[in-house]
Structure 1
Amino acid sequence: MIKKYVQVIVKFKEDGQIIPLQVLWEDGRVFEIDRILDMRPGVSLKVGGQGIRYVCRIRNKEVCLYYEEPRWFVESRT
């Protein structure tokens, strides 16, 4: 597993909360975040790093998306 940095389209709420909406992959694919299941400070035990961990549903799969200020990453096999 590796730490894969990705671009993320987000919404900033009035209270300062950051809500991710889409993940943009380096090959141009765009993945809509269907639902955020959990959001809390967390660490990636698989690839290292810490920040805000968003457990998201993308295409009926649970994906952990991390905001490690100032960048976003996912745990990737390649």
Structure 2
Amino acid sequence: MKKRFVEVKAIFHEDGSITPTHIIWDDTREFEIEEILDIRKAASLKVGGQGLRYTVRILDKKKYLFYEEPKWFVEGK
């Protein structure tokens, strides 16, 4: 497993919070984040790194999306 950096569309709110709405792979495929299930400061135990961990639902599957300022990553192969 390794960090797979991704482009993310997000809404930045006045209070400083961030709501990611879409993940875009490097091949330009775009996936809507259907639901944010949890947000917390956490480390990736599989690939290292830490920051805000968003537990999200994409295509009815639970995934982790990390915001490690200033980049976003997922745990990938």
Instruction: Give the TM bin, normalised by the shorter chain.
Output: over 0.9
TM-score (norm: length of structure 1): 0.97
Cα shift at 1:14: 1.6
SS in 1 for 2:27: coil
- Percentage of identical aligned residues: 55
Contiguous gaps of at least 5 residues in structure 1: none
How many residue pairs were aligned?
Answer: 77
Match of 1:33 in 2: 33
Structure 1: which 4+ aligned runs deviate by more than 4 Å?
A: none
Partner of 1:55: 55
In structure 2, runs of 5+ residues without a counterpart are none
TM-score normalised per structure 2: 0.98
The 2-side partners of 1:12 and 1:47 are apart by 26
CA-based RMSD of the aligned residues comes to 0.5
SS in 1 for 2:45: coil
Give, in angstroms, the shift of residue 2 of structure 1. Answer: 0.9
SS in 1 for 2:63: strand
Deviations 1:44-75 (A, max 9, x none): 00000000000000000001000000000000
